[in-house]
Structure 1
């Protein structure tokens, strides 16, 4: 395909998204089209959205890692504790609805087990019931955490080629804090008009224009 065809594909996919139609394949193909055009910030955003809908999508995961190799900035962060790293991996491994289904299944199994014990007067063993209930409650905790992430919508991907971060929601040469480039994932702390305050993984904070990123 020539660049003009990829531009048409991007326009078509974006139009579909604007109509409120969302699907992992739609985001995946949008990411591929942006990638071919060299718009790595937009392609990373699209792959991230595809992974939100299906964290097990191996193609989207591979293409996301490939797109990330084109990100200019390398942000170094302190080593994360193993348990925290494992929890984040676990939380991102399934979608909200998948966690909901599995946790509901554990609670259902606990209820059925307890009912069978009482109806058939079988010798009661606490261990299976405790395992079912404990697993269900743990997964419900993860559910709440994922719901918080979704409802807050507090992350975004830089899509402008180069972005200057300022110490406040204004443009002044003496207020420049740092510069970043497309593809970087940022946390959004506050918003004011068409400005947002962002945080980087290394702790840096600054204000940028809202139209320089896309919300996840």
Structure 2
């Protein structure tokens, strides 16, 4: 009996949990429409602290910080939005505006053909979406092959054979894209500089020489970490060490 009661309580809590989050989200939207961005972002962050995440939630948090002229957290949450949903057009547009508030002007290194193709095609969809496409393609290929095997018409057999080959091709491409996307996401640990001015050192030590400096809102790639230091790389290829407190990983 106690187990049954516990299960019922658990189920009720699971139902109430998203309802409470939706209520808070609506409350935050009301504050935002009233122009009370401080209270709005407080409500949105309370939802995030519950372990919930969504592209709309991160987008709204970013908008609040943008309205408050807080460049680093605005860019951070726009980037988090795009990490969940790379095709979020409004987030891309607003991120471009937010980046105009940054101080650092970094010229990116030219990309190879595969890097451009990856950014424009492979990274357009999350790796789990490519995986779903691969599963659908495998099911379709199996179904088409069975239809081909039991078909008696020559023309129908030819069509089903070609369709099966095409499905297998889509399956192979989708698996490759999913694996490549997953590997890219795992390898590219990105972060945003939150310090007003961060001194980038040539070694993970306060006594080491400064090689360059960065300012809030700049996006970096995290290559390695040691104690309270992170080895970073910026878009122009420069590498250095920064204290962990001065940036926040996306």
Distance 1:58 1:18, change over 3 A: same
Mapped pair 1:146 → 2:181: yes
Determine which structure has the larger helix proportion and give its number.
Answer: 2
Unmatched 5+ residue regions in structure 1?
A: none
Kept in 1: contact 2:109–2:235 (CA 8 A) = no
Unmatched 5+ residue regions in structure 2?
A: 1-31
Map 1:30-109 onto structure 2 (within 5 A). 30-109=61-140
Distance 1:169 1:11, change over 3 A: farther
Map 1:52-201 onto structure 2 (within 5 A). 52-123=83-154, 124-125=157-158, 126-152=161-187, 154-172=189-207, 175-201=209-235
Q: What is the CA-CA distance between 1:164 and the residue it aligns to?
A: 0.9
Between stretches 88-97 and 174-183, larger displacement belongs to 88-97
Higher-Rg structure is: 2
- The residue matched to 1:163 in structure 2 has which SS? strand
Kept in 2: contact 1:153–1:215 (CA 8 A) = no
Q: What is the CA-CA distance between 1:82 and the residue it aligns to?
A: 3.7
Distance 1:72 1:85, change over 3 A: same
RMSD: 2.2
Q: What is the CA-CA distance between 1:122 and the residue it aligns to?
A: 4.3
> TM-score of the superposition, structure 2-length normalised?
0.78
Higher RCO by CA contacts (8 Å cutoff, separation 6 or greater): 1
Structure 1 CA distance, aligned partners of 2:103 and 2:84? 27
